[in-house]
Structure 1
């Protein structure tokens, strides 16, 4: 029923955004006053903002990955440039040694005089040809290195410019993402405020018909929420409960779509008491599942539901200390008949 520890969790799941109000008081509930249920568009707004936050997060993360790639490319070019500069320095040193050697052996005497004075003019000419070839090779290498350095410098400048543009775009995406998340947080608590008002009045606002995606679940059983952190478990004790905890808590933000774990029929929608806003679904085999502390409901009592169908939105209504979904498995529709939901789900192929 209550949350033992509060772990805020950003849920990034794709969701659609339209909502149509179908106001129908549930069995045993106080009839709605005229106009009661208006403002249920906050439910749809929360769902839409979830979708926008997820999309903005994906774009932001893609941008950061691209920025990392651009930085790596700039570093690669810089490393290549350093290697070519080092090779150029070696070549320049070789040229210096050749020049110094020529100066020492030649002493400034013209080449013709060297040939005339040499013991072996032919050997002298071969040496001069080798020296000339060395000069040409060195000159070509230096020119090639200069061209390569100019090209790499241009590429490096382009990469740096692209990285700067990317950083600017990523900042814009980060600002957009933060703005959406702030709006989402505001909308969540507006939704919770409506839920608290319903619990205080003991009257549900009616089903908020969320435009949910098509269900393509191949399994007969699914977890009650898509992304979550487990908190209080079945049978745990503490001052928060009269005896022991009767379900499994899923720590999720307010407004997270809550799914029916399997096919069944909604037998109870209630908006008062310790569980706050709650839904109970009857399944085949004599079992019932309960979804409590909700912020909104998306089904009416008596309605048939499919595995994975959104039946409400999580919250922190009733006897709750933080946003979460309280999930129970029972052998009757009423409290006091709960069984441990974790092995029950495991028997149906679901490991939490």
Structure 2
């Protein structure tokens, strides 16, 4: 099941402005260059989303322009067929005129004709026919000229769009390569923290615009559901106690509702995890994170970023493990899918 939700655009930033990515240093999260990995991954994640969107927009524009050029070409073919038919008509008129004495001067034909007035009426009819055909041909030639010009413009626009699409694809690939490298470094730092059993300080992220008028949201915005609540497997002692969301390392994870952070922990099967207490005695857990963006005791709002997804702890690949509990500890989990659905968040 794939969600149709797309990551929102945070700010209108030029795609090529990667050199000005701001960083906020925090303990244990910097790479060798002094850049805070968590914020860098989050910003690259947004840049990649924008690059992908612009790439797809460019492709759609190019396809629309290509369709327009093909339509022009079709109209040109139709116009050429009409012109060819008119030329055939003109040829028949010319041949008829020749057979009717058109090879002689009009004065000689009048002298030799049995009925000069009839000859003049026929001549006037031929002249009108010639004029009509010539007018039609002129009109068609002008139309063909206009269409040919339009077609040339369409081809030029297509080439420009194709060039831009190629550039966008190259830029998109470059951003994604930077993102993958930053994700790998972030995951390496996270694994080292888990192995040491020591959590670094919160990796604060530049927050997105929070969803207005919503009390509950999904823990990630673009995802694919994987292991479900209650499913069996060798990785769990009994049954799976939450719902997994398959997302890349570094994906911003958000609190599904307003509450207070009651636990930020590293180590063990859940790796880096955050637990949030909500009203009416419910708790939500976010596990296998690459980093936490909050500290214990923080108040969080609905949709606020509280960490970044990863693959720490007992995990076979990048994903978010999400639980709903009635206590802050393990062993009291509920199925999170109907729980969220009851609160207006279908997955």
TM-score, shorter chain, exceeding 0.5: yes
Q: Does 1:267 align with 2:262?
A: yes
Residues 19 and 331 of structure 1: CA distance in aligned 2, closer, same or farther (over 3 Å): farther
User: Residues of 2 paired with 1:65 and 1:304: CA distance?
Assistant: 43
Match of 2:236 in 1: 241
CA contact (8 A) 1:251 1:324 kept: yes
Query: TM-score of the superposition, structure 1-length normalised?
Result: 0.89
- Higher relative CO (CA 8 A, sep ≥ 6), structure 1 or 2? 1
Aligned match of 1:20 in 21, 24, 27?
A: 24
Equivalences for 1:150-189 in 2 at 5 Å? 150-189=145-184
Equivalences for 1:70-85 in 2 at 5 Å? 70-85=65-80
Match of 2:129 in 1: 134
User: Residues of 2 paired with 1:330 and 1:60: CA distance?
Assistant: 42
CA contact (8 A) 1:315 1:325 kept: yes
Q: 1:15 Cα shift? A: 4.6
Residues 107 and 288 of structure 1: CA distance in aligned 2, closer, same or farther (over 3 Å): closer
Residues 350 and 11 of structure 1: CA distance in aligned 2, closer, same or farther (over 3 Å): closer
Match of 2:16 in 1: none
CA contact (8 A) 2:26 2:36 kept: no
Match of 1:41 in 2: 36
The farther-off stretch of 141-150 and 14-23 is: 14-23
Aligned match of 1:317 in 308, 312, 320?
A: 312
CA contact (8 A) 1:328 1:339 kept: yes
Residues 299 and 326 of structure 1: CA distance in aligned 2, closer, same or farther (over 3 Å): same
Structure 1 residues 24-70: Cα deviation after superposition (integer angstroms, max 9, x where no partner): xxxxxxxxxxxx44447111111111111122122212211221222
Match of 2:92 in 1: 97
Tell me, what secondary structure is at the counterpart of 1:20? coil
Q: 1:308 Cα shift? A: 0.7
User: Residues of 1 paired with 2:182 and 2:229: CA distance?
Assistant: 31
Q: Does 1:288 align with 2:283?
A: yes
Q: 1:342 Cα shift? A: 1.0
Match of 2:14 in 1: none
Match of 1:342 in 2: 337
User: Residues of 2 paired with 1:118 and 1:271: CA distance?
Assistant: 115
Match of 1:300 in 2: 295
Tell me, what secondary structure is at the counterpart of 1:294? strand
CA contact (8 A) 1:217 1:308 kept: no
User: Residues of 1 paired with 2:297 and 2:90: CA distance?
Assistant: 94
Tell me, what secondary structure is at the counterpart of 1:328? strand
Q: 1:19 Cα shift? A: 4.8
User: Residues of 2 paired with 1:92 and 1:307: CA distance?
Assistant: 75
CA contact (8 A) 1:199 1:272 kept: yes
In the TM superposition, structure 1's runs of 4+ consecutive aligned residues that sit over 6 Å from their partners are none
Query: TM-score of the superposition, structure 2-length normalised?
Result: 0.91
Q: 1:159 Cα shift? A: 1.7
User: Residues of 2 paired with 1:246 and 1:199: CA distance?
Assistant: 21
Match of 1:204 in 2: 199
Tell me, what secondary structure is at the counterpart of 1:126? helix
Aligned match of 1:121 in 116, 122, 129?
A: 116
Match of 1:28 in 2: none
Structure 2 unaligned regions, length at least 5: 12-20
User: Residues of 1 paired with 2:22 and 2:203: CA distance?
Assistant: 10
Match of 1:147 in 2: 142
CA contact (8 A) 1:11 1:50 kept: no
What is the number of residues matched between the two proteins? Answer: 334
User: Residues of 2 paired with 1:81 and 1:285: CA distance?
Assistant: 71
Match of 2:219 in 1: 224
Structure 1 unaligned regions, length at least 5: 24-35
CA contact (8 A) 1:19 1:211 kept: no
User: Residues of 1 paired with 2:60 and 2:6: CA distance?
Assistant: 21
